A and B are shown apart, each in its own frame.
Chain A
């Protein structure tokens, strides 16, 4: 019993990796990954079951394991006969045990009660098995829907596929109804279970009565594999502005740390089970641990992710041009390549950059790992959809083509407030940026309707860390300010807007002899080598993630990606802004025009960043409102379908069409609303931002 206690499991998640995956709330989502490769999963599933059965042999008190359980993870095509791969018996047991704990002090009367309950439980268990069988069907169906949604990014509901899909839904509607009823019964029967049920069941959102997360799971509704790159980044990103999906970053990080000297790299086939497990973890946004990784698995993970992207890394439009460019003679070739690379969308740019720089490292270690470009080509070529020539060229010129990509290990945002909180302002603001990014992601997920106690907790935790960071940052700034009136003000302003300290203008200011010639000054200052390309245009696509000032252009680039209307405005604004700072510059020679511009751009950037996250949240919520509506229609269909007999198919079709039309109208309205909203907000926001920047600038100038 001690063995199985929940705490032990938490301490050693690895021991229970396969099971804990099932128990946690989010594990319910995992089916998404399973369905994608049913055959593999099949195999994997069965093996796992066997393993777990053994484990249970010791732990199970009542020997509830039944032969049906082996069918848990079968392919969706057989889903009618199968069940979801949760472990009813297991979780039951757990529930019971945790209850036991609560009742340690209680008397014998309780025991009688428990015996009764166990009888009830036996019944319930059967019901639950049935229920889970059906839940799986539900999920599968929803995944289909979701896939469809991905394909038609703009929710063109007019398409006929929708209709078809809904018909399909109908066939399973009745089952769903039963499921619901059963659940109700269960709740009545056993109020006690409620508390512990959090493990498997999740409270509903406030907008609809149906437990939302039971229908949609994060991994299913917001997959990260097989969706456009930008979406994948949006859903599971590194919070440090590299613009990489977490799965890619983790894989490359692992290979950089452990793979470069290994002769397995890009050569050995991975352990399929391990690969699937890891993929599932990423899909469910679960944490990974070292034992999940090895070199072949990391390689395969990269490969899987890239090959499942709907579009080539080089993008469909540019792919041909890239290949053609390899045929050009040398002097022009590099220029052409650079031009083509600059045309890549920011996410593609960073993905390609990281991959190529990583391959460069692999090849550079050929002595140790015996992997050359041919080896990489064999492993990754099909996924990357590149010719050997092109890959060879990119890798050999990696440094020139991606000068600003630095392979740095990802440091995720802090999960809790550590005793040794970062002390310096740059560290604090760096962490603050990460936390804000994390917070935005949590908000987006919650807006999408994925509300679990765990996510709630995470949200409060992240918010608390943000608050603490802000407070600390403020106090650090205050302590610095009295020492030097000018320098810290620069710093404080930047930081307040969640930038890393912009040390450069500060340093420049400290050298009053050359105040107005920043580019020349730079070599003399103690800047790190990465910083010189600092005087950059806002349109530069992607720059080194770790160095402070370069963060700015990345976001500019992101804006281009997300809101096409923004850059124009941003560009328009810049010339206007040059006018006001010009005057003070004359009065206070310490602040060059350039610095002011940089400062202003930074302020602007920070403001736009905030705006972006806000709009993103709104867009997300609108999108998921639509998804929710669709699920409601499906449920309504079911309800009506339950009432009418099967013969009245014509009526059903009519109803369906009506519903569909209503939905189309609703969605069109929603879409309209969303667009209006965004426009309105944006216009107002731009005005606000301008005012805020004006204020901030005035403040700086008056203080300096």
Chain B
């Protein structure tokens, strides 16, 4: 029975194999055919709600049980200011155990959501370290980055004062947003804000590298948005 299954799978696979690389390559070749892809990475200590935010954004679900993430990746098509784009979300492990794996992802991330829990000062302190790590890997001060204070629904248990959050965000020159994965408060906002930053960053880059003509084109698009 198993071998039959295996063969079935294998024949399917052969087809897959033939199609898949082709598909993928054409995708990377022709960005015009495929919507733009923004790669977002969730960072933050363990248990602050990175996965909860991600799952809420992806599937509108709130998971109560805590199960540490090793690494998870999601893709979703969204409409960003009238333009269809794809978002790749990588949900990383908060635990240090998987730091080695995390590094590989940081490198390819285009924007970061640095999450902490407003009920947990330690997680807020840890954001400093994450920020440094990201800057080290990306070697770029202006990398799209949002500081996210999660669990805003637990206002009564708040232990990180809003002022210090804002202060840190200002110091880093990044936006600060408070979210609640449970009530879905600001969940879409953080992802969309970040995507906008990534997009404007990308158009800046392409203008810098592609000369004026290209830049003009991009600028037009940007104006339309604004």
Contacts and interface: CB of A to CB of B under 8 A. Distances in A.
B84 interface: no
Contacts of A191: 208-211
A408 interface: yes
B104 A192 contact: no
Interface stretch (B12-20, B151-159, B168-176): B12-20
A528 B6 CA distance: 14
A6 interface: yes
A464 B108 CA distance: 15
A329 interface: no
B23 A443 contact: no
B199 interface: no
A543 to B, nearest CB: 14
B31 to A, nearest CB: 10
Interface stretch (B68-76, B120-128, B179-187): B68-76
A473 to B, nearest CB: 13
A195 B29 contact: no
B101 A443 contact: yes
A11 B104 contact: no
Nearest to A410: B10
Contacts of A416: 16, 20, 23-24
A328 to B, nearest CB: 35
Interface in A458-476: 459-461, 463-464, 466-467, 470
Contacts of A102: 214
A33 B98 CA distance: 35
B100 A617 contact: yes
A546 B3 contact: yes
A446 B106 CA distance: 12
A191 to B, nearest CB: 5
A647 interface: no
Nearest to B9: A411
Given A408-B6, A415-B24, A463-B72, A7 B104 contact: no
Contacts of B9: 411, 427
Interface in A397-441: 406, 408-412, 414-416, 418, 420, 427
A450 to B, nearest CB: 11
Nearest to A418: B16
B213 A106 contact: yes
A206 B136 CA distance: 8
Contacts of B26: 7, 10-11
B107 A206 contact: yes
Nearest to A6: B29
B209 A460 contact: no
B36 interface: no
Contacts of A446: 104
A467 B74 CA distance: 7
B223 interface: no
A68 B51 CA distance: 57
Contact of A459 (B1, B21, B98, B105): B105
Contacts of A331: none
A371 to B, nearest CB: 24
B220 to A, nearest CB: 13
Contacts of A412: 13, 17
A460 B107 contact: no
A420 B12 CA distance: 10
A618 interface: yes
Given A414-B13, A460-B39, A614-B97, A467 B3 contact: no
A415 B17 contact: yes
A19 B2 CA distance: 40
A94 to B, nearest CB: 11
Contacts of A451: 104, 107
A607 B1 CA distance: 30
6 contacts: A10-B26, A410-B10, A411-B6, A447-B104, A460-B39, A467-B72
Given A460-B90, A466-B72, 12 more contacts: A7-B29, A109-B213, A192-B209, A192-B210, A409-B7, A411-B9, A416-B20, A446-B104, A447-B100, A453-B28, A464-B74, A547-B2
Interface of A: 6-7, 10-11, 13, 98, 102, 106, 109-110, 191-192, 194-195, 206, 287, 289, 406, 408-412, 414-416, 418, 420, 427, 442-443, 446-447, 451, 453, 456-457, 459-461, 463-464, 466-467, 470, 528, 546-547, 614, 617-618, 621
